Homo-oligomer: A and B are copies of this chain.
Amino acid sequence: MPKIVRFHETGDADVLKLEDLPLTEPAEGEVRLKVEAIGINRAEVMFRRGQYLEEPQLPSRLGYEASGVVDAVGPGVKGIQVGDRVSTIPCFSIGKYGVYGESAIVPDYAAVRFPENLTAIEGAAIWMQYFTAYGALVEYGHLKKEDTVLITAASSSVGLAAIQITKAAGATAIATTRGADKKPFLLDAGADHVIVTDQEDLSARVMSISSEKGARLVFDPVAGPFLEKLADAAAPGAIIFVYGALFPEVTPFPLFPALAKGLTIRGYTLFEIAQDAGKRARGVKYISERLQSGALKPVVDRTFPLADIAEAHRYMESNQQKGKIVVTV
């Protein structure tokens, strides 16, 4: 019987249990993976705590991203075969289809062959991060090479993906980080400029870097009072994508800069892209081409064995990581 991660109550990382559960068969339109690697996302931490967009039905599986080999396909599946090396796009219920385990079943459209030049570990570090950044910056933001893009919490896997997508488009990437310790890493990761927000005036630095224009695209998972500083650093007509809610308290809407500069504040999750067939296909093509060329390259911070899944979650909650945390199976 495959080992599957579940939780019977919401709470801290210790609620995650490795359980032996019967191998199940994929239903119509589903495929089953023999999992090789699992990408760990903040969404799963939030879901485990009962603080996510989706409510867990206990006991609940969890997990959005896995790479592996297809070992069974359900009726009506086209385009995917047993033996295909795939990874999963987060476009399904995290509870119903949770991929944390040795075996995972997902809808067929969520299983995508990934470029040969990537390892299974890298394969588990593609779709959440690149789809999230791609959807905001490219699909909605129409990223152009003359743009200045302001990327907060830039050491996260999604932040690094945004830096890479910005640079691949020839635009200017400004990364922010709270403390100075991650600055050398972010410069190595491709950021043109790094602003240490505990020490520097964000708006003044962004204006100076952008010849007083401000950032046309802002990409932020934090929200909270910091949103007002981002609005000050934004260009007239800028779009601020808020794709997370890391700050635990109320976010004030930056009304006066929004009125004065005609700012768009856009709540955004990758599901808008991942759950729409047309947008998903455009995103898969855009990302796959750039993974093949090497313009995009997943940054894996650290791996954990499946038995240490709770430790992997605790490590994510420590906010020490620089890039993706992956669990190997």
Q: Which residues of A contact B (CB under 8 A)?
A: 53, 223, 227, 237, 242-245, 250-253, 255-269, 272
19 pairs, A vs B, C-beta closer than 8 Å = A223-B253, A223-B255, A227-B253, A237-B272, A242-B258, A244-B259, A245-B256, A252-B253, A253-B265, A257-B267, A258-B267, A259-B268, A259-B269, A260-B267, A262-B269, A262-B272, A264-B264, A264-B265, A265-B267
Report the separation of the CA atoms of residues A56 and B242 in the bound assembly, to the nearest whole angstrom: 35
> Closest approach, in angstroms, between the C-beta of A313 and any C-beta of chain B?
21
From known contacts A267-B259, A268-B259, infer whether A250 and B251 are also in contact, taking CB-CB under 8 Å.
no
* Shortest Cβ distance from A227 into B: residue: B253
Report the separation of the CA atoms of residues A272 and B262 in the bound assembly, to the nearest whole angstrom: 7
Report the separation of the CA atoms of residues A243 and B244 in the bound assembly, to the nearest whole angstrom: 25
User: Which of B53, B253, B260 contacts A251 (CB under 8 A)?
Assistant: B253
Q: Which of A223, A237, A267, A272 has the most CB of B within 10 A?
A: A267
Report the separation of the CA atoms of residues A53 and B261 in the bound assembly, to the nearest whole angstrom: 10
Chain B residues with CB below 8 A from A259, complex form:
53, 242-245, 267-269
Chain B residues with CB below 8 A from A253, complex form:
223, 227, 242, 250-253, 265
Determine chain A's interface SS by DSSP, over half rule: mixed
Chain B residues with CB below 8 A from A272, complex form:
237, 262
From known contacts A243-B259, A258-B242, infer whether A266 and B269 are also in contact, taking CB-CB under 8 Å.
no
> Closest approach, in angstroms, between the C-beta of A98 and any C-beta of chain B?
20
Report the separation of the CA atoms of residues A267 and B263 in the bound assembly, to the nearest whole angstrom: 5
The list of the 7 closest CB pairs from A to B, nearest first, reads A258-B267, A253-B253, A251-B253, A259-B267, A265-B265, A262-B272, A263-B267
Q: Which of A242, A257, A259 has the most CB of B within 10 A?
A: A259
